[in-house]
Chain A
Amino acid sequence: MIQPHGGKLIDRVLKGAALEEAKKRAGTLPSVRLDAEQTSDVENIATGVFSPLEGFLGEKDFRSVLDKMRLANGLAWTIPVVLAVDKKTADALVPGKDAALLNVAGEPAAILHLAEKYGFDRKETARKVFGTEDAAHPGVAKIMNMPEVLLGGTIDLIRETPTPYQKYKLSPLETRKLFQDKGWNTVVGFQTRNTPHIGHEYVQKSALTLVDGLFINPVIGKKKKGDYRDEVILESYEELIKNYYVPERTTMAILMMEMRYAGPREAIFHAIIRKNFGCSHIIIGRDHAGVGSYYAPFAAQEIFADFPDLEITPLFFRSFFYCKKCGSVVSDKICPHGKEHQIQFRGTEIRDLLLRGEYPPAELVRPEVAKIIMDEKNPFND
């Protein structure tokens, strides 16, 4: 099985006596209140999803990620995983001393071993990570509203914050054991933030013909307005897998993480995460992790040329569509027919049909999936 990024699966989940000691000590430490996304970051660090990170980036790594898309030690890393706090909170914290990180319920979620505090340039960060300073970009907007001080240091997890989807929450150790138990040596990961249409199914099944198993890994967490709600994504995939997939070859688990919409940089980040889950391959489609028209359609594929050392193999898929003459889902690489024969998988058009209470054509969406979406009172994020 593919090794974790950096060669070692990080485990910073406290157990036994160390856990009990940390729980007691947390109440005596200065604290930082986390939001849901930061809490997910902490858990992802602790359980190895973000291996080799053992904490929030220090300044040297942060600068290196911005400038070189690599940690200071040269290992590929494209998205800054940082903890930003306001000056007042930062002033109460001393590098070299610990702080308690509190989850949204105010419970101690982790101990931060604070190594350093440092400032950053919001515009520079936005420009380098997202390729734009346009505040209409959701990732840029978040950076522009971030507090001014970044805290660097390793963390130790005290407690995981339960989700409504606990059944689907697996750590990299668990997915690795699962793949091993299923006898899968090669696994393709599929990142998604959408309900599945026939085009997704085509891509997943095409990729699965090349490897032993398919790992569907929806991102659960904060997304932009108009994206499908998490439970709708999960329920529609459950229905699709039940009716149309070989169960011995397919599995699904969630990734609790905020979408950054950083396009090419995020595609590399997503690949690293799936590598940590044990995937040997990852599907990268058109405009992966993109938003609006900020990134060229295939920029998220082209960037992999800069990371020959990534080890996980990207499987690139072009734009695909249903061709009435071929009678199947195809791409411009394999279909000789003209545009007049094509039915496009346009998310917005499918969404509009569903909102009007109309079933999309079976060539676009499986009826079982459409039913799940239409049965929801409000399937989209407000």
Chain B
Amino acid sequence: MKKEFTAVSIPTSLYKEIEEAVQGTNDGSVANYVARVLRESLKKGGEPEEVFSAEDEEKVKDRLKALGYID
């Protein structure tokens, strides 16, 4: 499933601050950092992000069935 993205404006100074902070970290980019922090902030009331496609999920079910974990 292809993800869609949109732009959000933040102050340039804040962008630069984040850019510096994410260097050499697991986030890797300002976009990743912002998305993660927003997800963390929203997750109490929100649904987890679907990172796998419906096709992947079918494959998972098939494997679990083949291994005898589910009927």
Contacts and interface: CB of A to CB of B under 8 A. Distances in A.
A167 B69 CA distance: 10
A173 interface: yes
Interface stretch (A54-62, A216-224, A331-339, A356-364): A54-62
Interface residues of B, number: 26
Contact of A178 (B24, B28, B69): B69
A3 B48 contact: yes
A11 B64 contact: no
Interface residues of A, number: 35
A152 interface: yes
Contacts of B70: 178, 181-182
A7 B48 contact: yes
B19 interface: no
Contacts of A3: 43, 48
A53 B39 CA distance: 16
Interface in A46-86: 52-55, 57-61, 71-73, 75
Given A173-B52, A177-B61, A177-B64, A72 B25 contact: yes
A39 B28 CA distance: 23
Contacts of A11: 51-52
A6 interface: yes
A173 B36 contact: no
B26 interface: yes
B70 to A, nearest CB: 5
A174 interface: yes
B4 interface: no
Interface of A: 1, 3-4, 6-11, 52-55, 57-61, 71-73, 75, 115-116, 152, 154, 167, 170, 173-174, 177-178, 181-182, 251
Given A7-B39, A9-B51, A55-B26, 15 more contacts: A1-B48, A3-B43, A6-B36, A7-B36, A58-B24, A60-B24, A61-B24, A61-B26, A72-B26, A73-B27, A115-B28, A173-B56, A177-B57, A177-B60, A182-B70
